[in-house]
Structure 1
């Protein structure tokens, strides 16, 4: 079965990246001045209208891919408005065909660049109750450390957004690095092996079917 043939992470990196602390501290102490892309600003403004009109909790499902996780999270949190964000219209376009859940829950899918969307959400003073980062692209080559979210210039805004942050990956080093980055930002998080009877995302289902394990961290981020 194809689902059971998901390849394991291959990396030329041993342990945490040797420059992780240096990179994270640089981003924590610098201002991220990259201009906001117009298409993401427009997408954010449309979603923000719905957020302002909604009286319940807001939940973010970042890097939501085809949005199966977004629909599942909306079922799990029926009192909340779940916002799934992904940069790929190709992935999001698959949602209604294969992954839409009809019953319970409220959710929106939006195509946007998270480097901009998270900053706009902070600027608009969104206060999500939960923020999920489920199986983001791990960029396992050592030279791509700054493409991982904890090594990216936008990382401080993940911390500023607050809420209960949950990160999952099939590459334990990714989660361990994320925990280290949070520690440098003044937040201590514990990594743990994660198992469940029900997979929430297509990637999670593939990884488990091929015998891979998941590592996660769950941490409550206070608003700074």
Structure 2
């Protein structure tokens, strides 16, 4: 669920789906998962990764930023550079992606291999309250039959919402963000969808590829408290 496949730079494929709007089963899935706390056993390697994050944060009183599904960590390093007074943690389930380091990381940046669906639950149980939370270009799973693979229709979604903070997600498939906005609204978190400004430096390699391919890019951000983008 974390990242979608892309083709060569400047020629990235557009998302293709039979959906022309939010999925008709979206609210049923969101409501079902809101009624029951997900109790799937948490993998040991995810507990170890979370323990490493807790140890790293122990001596850091700065506000926290999460970069969920960070891929190679480019976005995490950029966010850490933009927010030097914050602690920034990037999480991705792929050891291969995380191994593709391009330059050093700022001192306030930590990259971890973990599955988000476990990490978010551990963070919620530990009382984490990130000031900002980014979910950049998740795999949109555009086939209608794969609705349940999308984070907003997954049993872990209430745990993501419970973490709070200014939340931002980006995608080149607006319908994904429209569904995400509806799911957030169900949980009492209003959000808006706006175009990603072309003048803004890309946060991720995916954003750079999609922009070079001429695809429209969209940003969802929660609006309570007036939190600013990036």
Same fold (TM over 0.5): yes
Gaps of 5+ in 1: none
Check conservation: 1:80, 1:105, Cα contact below 8 A.
no
**Contact kept? 2:190, 2:224, Cα under 8 Å:** no
Provide the alpha-carbon RMSD of the alignment. 1.6
Specify which of 208, 213, 220 is matched with residue 210 of structure 1.
Answer: 213
Corresponding position of 1:51: 57
**2-side partners of 1:91 and 1:212: how far apart?**
24
- Tell me the TM-score normalised to structure 2 length: 0.91
Residue equivalent to 1:38: 44
| Match of residue 62 from structure 1 | 68
- The one of 201, 204, 211 equivalent to 2:204 is 201
Q: After the TM superposition, which residues 1-224 of structure 1 pair with which residues of structure 2 at under 5 Å, given as runs?
A: 2-95=8-101, 98=102, 100-101=103-104, 106-197=108-199, 198-219=201-222
- Going from structure 1 to structure 2, the CA distance change for 1:116 and 1:221 (only over 3 Å counts) comes to farther
In the superposition, relative to structure 1, how do residues 26 and 85 fare at CA in structure 2: closer, same or farther (>3 Å)? Answer: same
CA distance in 1, matches of 2:107, 2:143: 38
Aligned to 1:5, the other structure's residue is in SS state coil
Runs of 5+ consecutive residues of structure 2 not aligned to the other structure: 1-6, 226-230
C-alpha separation in 2, matches of 1:35 and 1:74:
32
Cα shift at 1:106: 1.4
CA contact (8 A) 1:32 1:153 kept: yes
Return the alpha-carbon distance in structure 1 between the equivalents of residues 14 and 55 of structure 2.
41
Residue 221 of structure 1 deviates from its aligned partner by 6.6
SS of the counterpart of 1:83? strand
Cα deviation code 1:35-63 (max 9, x no counterpart): 11111001100111111221101100000
Could you tell me how far apart the structure 2 residues matched to 1:178 and 1:38 are? 29
Determine if contact 1:159/1:221 at 8 Å carries over to the other structure. no
Q: CA deviation at 1:80?
A: 0.8
**1:109-148, Cα deviation, whole Å (9 max, x unpaired):** 0000111000101111111110000101111111111111
SS in 1 for 2:194: strand
